[in-house]
Amino acid sequence: MIQDIKEIFSITGDAPGQYSPLSLAFIGDSIYGAIAKTVVVLRGNCPANTLDHKAVKYIKAVSQAKAADHLIETNALTDEEMAIYKRGRNAKSPTSAKNAPVGDYRKATGLEALIGYLYLKGDMERVLELTKAAVDYLDS
């Protein structure tokens, strides 16, 4: 998909590791959110407000932080992925979540940076694998 975007828009782009952690988190937030929302919709058609309430379970910073902790505790991340996660987690963001502790917000940013990195790398299989592990954990 990323290759299609580059070709259609005539963009070469940098190597995924060259982007700032907050740039990676910016795109990763959208990708993770789109996948989580897709899962919610595919699990059952219902009013948009209900869909939104169901999606929040996976998308809010506190949930993403729990998912990140789970991925780390289960050694689900490669060394390269852990390094990207830590870059995102340790990035100094000018904003913070309205309804989450700073530590959870940073962990969520780390997870989003990792998802963004993998997406820009063109590894959607791994994005889906990690997002499935996160969703499954949050459902348990």
Which residues fall within 8 angstroms of residue 37, CB to CB, at 6 or more apart? 51, 55, 59
The tokens describing 30, both together, are 């959208």
Identify whether 29 is a catalytic site residue: yes
**Annotated catalytic residue within 29, 104, 136, 139:** 29
DSSP, collapsed to helix, strand or coil, labels residue 79 as helix
Q: What is the residue type of 35?
A: I
Give which of 83, 89, 121 is closest to 107, Cα–Cα.
Answer: 89
Distance, CA of 71 to CA of 82 (rounded, Å): 10
Which positions are catalytic?
29
